[in-house]
């Protein structure tokens, strides 16, 4: 029994035994099973040993744990401190507002939490519900989670493979393995063992859990279940992948730490100066230090950040990019590399005939893409009239009649029912002017030899109602050439020439079919293998490929213009990947998965900068490539749609899944989902991401001078030993009212004209550059001087303390109104129509703010709450005159910056 258990332990790990390199007899022997399957007792014993055939579920954190984790952030600490201080001051409403901001941020984080757990759960749902299995020598249907290594299972078209299996027998078997390999076409399967070094996508004798049988029938023996399957290995990879924080969160964390330390130091210094220089009491200086802290903390910043990101989410949704994680909005703006899958993302995932070579040696090109039957047949620059070229007409007609697929027009797009290769031939016939129904009626089918992977061709028998009986045949070129004796006009087949033409077409990344025909003497109603084994006449070669999306080609160029590098990572063959890359306008330098495995970490980091195309890539390769790019300090966006993409999607700075054809696993592991599966939508999202970052920068650039100006006013008053020009509650009023009106208006700023011609922002770039920090300091000082000067002027003129403070508050607010327009463009001038009137939300915000300020100044309840008082028209004129100075000074500073940049 120990030997049996040892064998079982080996069986459960496909990485320990190369099942694809082991012949059927040895597989059965090593699994200690038989072709008649296991007995019920054996299966139960193995079930208790290996466990159910399902993926393990990780332990999820509780709601409170996830909620508290959202508060583990320096910026939240600053906000909590602000709330505590405000509550200590007795301002319950303001404290409640700040607490609400903290709670909202935490709730948003909790909602976004758990992508990895969702992805693993989705992987579990991919396992099929039932399986047909041999038990006690009889076929039974049982739940797939009861399967064990050694079970013999039966599969047919439409079934999802329930566990990793070694193929025993197969008839015309084809599987769609795109979820694991990324390869767009169904692959043929046969029981013959292959080399042990073969990549997963090349293992023709293996059936992998979660893949789909598209054609034929098969039986196989289970070699791995649950976590030991290829699907389980990806699940394990997914759970081990560490998500990295976004550039914005890193910068905000650094900014928050620096801001916190600076606020505490300034508050303490202010308290010390007041006590030592003016002998103020410790208690009064403590409250003054609290006032400085309240003034310096930009309470509205987290709310504005969240709202700005949320507005970005809405804008992206309108442009077909659905954001699952708020910080991902901004991350898109800093992307330096986009790693993209090929099939369905850069390409249409629809086979299209691109070239034909008739048996007389003439070459023809075909326009159009996908299954859409609009396009032309061309020879050079000229459009070809197919009816005037009999051999070309016969070649296309053969592809139409020797065909079992159908083209349907559904929901404004053309779809193929059946084999994609045959769908491409139907589209070709339509472009050439053939009517399918007419051709089928004129040349009805009498018999067919269906395609089987063993003989690699399909043949159909027809007659033309005039006594002529003939067959058409299409298939793999090497097989069809063996069956042909003639080419054009009865000439003997030049096999070497045609083999060279096949190699030439295939080197462009195209799939090549050979098409042949044969006329029969007299009436014939059945088609046998002997009828087509030899003596056929070659009609020509048809080359096809999954073509690039037209808008994706343009999108790649836009990315390159924006300084973003494009890397294609695909499970497809090197030639195919290189050909698509060339058509996309990318570098076609290719490296394969096998070559990647030979590289150490340092070499891989070097190679990812040199190569643009990575072919035959496995999930581990994709993950390695993303990590290597991040080691090179790149901000990486990864696109994908298959299960095999999920680990890399989770690791990338911005994982992007496909919404239409993507798997649920990929979507759950991603930060963003493309609703239209279109690479071009990524470019729109990048533009929105850059806009969001610009607007966040503008919001910070706008809010900080207000907070710093308020703090400077209090510090100046303490240093000079005079009364505070503005009270803590008035500070909170200014901070919150300007944040929710003027600051929020900046979230609606449209993109600046040069946005997509800028280089990507380096990962280490600080949130605020030295130029912007200098502007914040300069504006803060101007705001302090103006507000303090008008306060002192009104005190000296005999106005009440309340009226003087009201003037100071309104001066500070009006400074912000004028400065708002400066902030709309970071360096461009705003003294023009677009600058002053280009953002209607900003104009509305100014109007709303002025209403609030008039209420603050003239309503008795506001006088009671905030200690304000009514002021005269003359005071308003002084306020506007002084505050408007900021508009002219900042525009002068921006002009000097532009001159310096162009010097």
Residues belonging to the active site: 341
Asked if residues 167 and 206 have their Cβ atoms less than 8 Å apart, the reply is yes
The DSSP letter of residue 195 is -
CB atoms < 10 A from the CB of 548, how many? 22
The DSSP letter of residue 740 is I
Q: Which of 479, 487, 476, 486 is nearest to 361 (CA)?
A: 487
Encoding tokens for residue 661?
């054809």
154-157: long-range contacts at Cβ-Cβ below 8 A with a sequence spacing of 24 or more?
A: 154/217, 154/218, 154/219, 155/207, 155/213, 155/217, 155/218, 155/219, 155/220, 156/213, 156/216, 156/217, 156/218, 157/213, 157/214, 157/215, 157/216, 157/217
Residue 445 zone, left/alpha/beta (φ > 0; ψ -120 to 50; rest):
beta
Question: CA-based Rg of the chain, rounded to a whole angstrom?
Answer: 36
Encoding tokens for residue 525?
């109603």
Distance CA 430, CA 437 (A): 11
Q: Which of 642, 617, 507, 630 is nearest to 210 (CA)?
A: 642
DSSP string, 158-174: TPBP-SEEEEEEEEEEE
Encoding tokens for residue 617?
């890539």
Largest CA distance in the chain: 123
Of how many residues is the chain composed? 903
Q: Which of 518, 516, 525, 523 is nearest to 446 (CA)?
A: 525
Asked if residues 132 and 140 have their Cβ atoms less than 8 Å apart, the reply is yes
Encoding tokens for residue 108?
């948003």
φ, ψ of residue 422 to 5 degrees: the values are -70, -30
Distance CA 45, CA 29 (A): 18
Rounded (5°) CA angle 608-613-614: 75
CB atoms < 10 A from the CB of 296, how many? 26
Distance CA 645, CA 634 (A): 19
Distance CA 822, CA 815 (A): 11
CB atoms < 10 A from the CB of 80, how many? 14
Encoding tokens for residue 38?
């296991």
Distance CA 450, CA 185 (A): 19
Asked if residues 532 and 473 have their Cβ atoms less than 8 Å apart, the reply is yes
Distance CA 617, CA 567 (A): 12
């Amino acid at each position: 029994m120990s030997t049996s258990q040892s064998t079982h332990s080996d069986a459960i790990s496909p990485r320990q035994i190369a099942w694809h390199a082991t012949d059927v007899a040895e597989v059965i022997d090593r699994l200690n099973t038989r072709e008649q399957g296991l007995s019920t007792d054996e299966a139960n014993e193995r079930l208790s040993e290996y466990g159910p055939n399902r993926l393990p579920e990780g332990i999820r954190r509780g709601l409170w744990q996830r909620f508290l984790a959202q508060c583990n952030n320096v910026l939240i600490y600053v906000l909590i401190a602000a709330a505590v201080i405000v509550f200590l001051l007795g301002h319950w409403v303001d404290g409640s507002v700040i607490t609400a901001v903290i709670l909202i941020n935490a709730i948003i984080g909790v909602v976004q939490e758990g992508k990895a757990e969702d992805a693993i759960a989705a992987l579990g749902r991919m396992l099929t519900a039932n399986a047909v299995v041999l038990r006690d020598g009889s076929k039974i249907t049982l739940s797939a989670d009861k399967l064990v290594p050694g079970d013999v299972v039966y599969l047919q078209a439409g079934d999802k493979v329930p566990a990793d299996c070694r193929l025993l027998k197969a008839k015309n078997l084809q599987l769609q393995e795109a979820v694991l390999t990324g390869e767009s076409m169904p692959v043929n399967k046969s029981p013959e063992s292959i080399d042990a070094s073969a990549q997963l996508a090349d293992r023709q004798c293996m059936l992998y859990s979660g893949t789909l049988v598209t054609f034929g029938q098969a039986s196989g023996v289970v070699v791995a279940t649950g976590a030991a399957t290829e699907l389980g290995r990806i699940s394990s990879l997914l759970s081990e992948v560490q998500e990295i924080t976004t550039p914005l969160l890193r910068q905000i964390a650094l900014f928050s730490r620096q801001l916190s330390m600076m606020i505490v130091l300034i508050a303490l210094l202010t308290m010390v100066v007041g006590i030592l220089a003016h002998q103020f009491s410790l208690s009064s200086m403590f409250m003054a230090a609290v006032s400085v802290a309240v003034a310096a903390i930009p309470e509205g910043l987290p709310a504005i950040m969240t709202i700005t990101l949320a507005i970005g989410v809405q804008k992206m949704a309108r442009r077909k990019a659905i954001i699952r994680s708020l910080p991902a909005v901004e991350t898109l703006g800093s992307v330096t590399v986009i790693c993209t899958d090929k099939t369905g993302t850069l390409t249409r995932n629809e086979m299209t005939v691109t070239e034909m070579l008739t048996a007389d040696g003439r070459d023809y090109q075909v326009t159009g893409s996908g299954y859409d039957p609009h396009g032309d047949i061309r020879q050079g620059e000229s459009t070809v009239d197919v009816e005037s070229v009999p051999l070309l007409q016969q070649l296309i007609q053969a592809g139409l009649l020797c065909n079992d697929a159908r083209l349907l027009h559904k929901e404004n797009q053309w779809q193929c029912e059946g084999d994609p290769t045959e769908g491409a031939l139907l589209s070709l016939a339509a472009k050439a002017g053939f009517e399918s129904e007419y051709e089928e009626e004129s040349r009805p089918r009498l018999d067919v030899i269906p395609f089987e992977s063993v003989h690699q061709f399909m043949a159909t028998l027809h007659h033309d109602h005039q006594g002529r009986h003939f067959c058409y045949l299409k298939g793999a070129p090497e097989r069809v050439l063996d069956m042909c004796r003639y080419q054009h006009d009865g000439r003997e087949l030049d096999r070497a020439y045609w083999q060279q033409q096949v190699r030439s077409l295939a080197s462009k990344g195209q799939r090549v079919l050979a098409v042949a025909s044969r006329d029969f003497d007299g009436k014939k109603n059945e088609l046998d293998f002997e009828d087509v084994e030899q003596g056929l006449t070659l009609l020509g070669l048809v080359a096809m490929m999954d073509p690039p999306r037209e808008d994706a080609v343009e999108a790649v160029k836009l990315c390159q213009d924006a300084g973003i590098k494009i890397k294609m990572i695909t499970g497809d063959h090197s030639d195919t990947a290189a050909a698509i890359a060339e058509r996309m306008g990318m570098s076609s330098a290719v490296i394969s998965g096998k070559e990647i495995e030979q590289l150490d970490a340092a070499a891989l980091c070097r190679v990812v900068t040199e190569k643009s195309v990575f072919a035959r890539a496995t999930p581990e390769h994709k993950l390695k490539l993303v990590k290597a790019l991040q080691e090179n300090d790149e901000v990486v966006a990864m696109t994908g749609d298959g299960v095999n993409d999920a680990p890399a999607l989770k690791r990338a700075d911005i994982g992007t899944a496909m919404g239409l054809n993507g798997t649920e696993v990929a979507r759950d592991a991603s930060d963003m989902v493309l609703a239209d599966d279109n690479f071009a939508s990524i470019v729109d999202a990048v533009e929105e991401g850059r806009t969001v970052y610009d607007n966040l920068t503008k919001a910070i650039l706008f809010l900080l001078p207000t907070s710093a100006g308020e703090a400077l006013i209090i510090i100046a008053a303490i240093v000079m030993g005079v009364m505070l020009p503005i009270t803590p509650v008035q500070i909170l009023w200014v901070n919150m009212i300007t944040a929710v009106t003027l600051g929020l208006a900046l979230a609606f700023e449209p993109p600046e004209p040069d946005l997509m011609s800028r280089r990507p922002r380096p990962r280490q770039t600080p949130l605020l550059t030295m130029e912007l920090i200098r502007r914040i300091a300069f504006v803060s000082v101007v705001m302090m001087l103006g507000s303090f000067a008008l306060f002192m002027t009104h005190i000296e003129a005999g106005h009440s303390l309340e009226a003087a403070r009201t003037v100071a508050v309104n001066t500070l607010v009006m400074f912000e109104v004028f400065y708002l327009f400066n902030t709309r463009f970071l360096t461009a001038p705003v003294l023009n129509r677009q600058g002053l009137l280009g953002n209607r939300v900003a104009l509305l915000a100014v109007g709303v703010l002025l209403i609030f300020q008039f209420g603050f100044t003239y309503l008795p309840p506001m006088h009671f709450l905030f200690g304000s008082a009514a002021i005269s028209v003359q005071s308003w004129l002084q306020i506007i005159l002084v505050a408007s100075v900021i508009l002219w000074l900042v525009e002068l500073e921006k002009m000097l910056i532009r001159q310096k940049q162009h010097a």
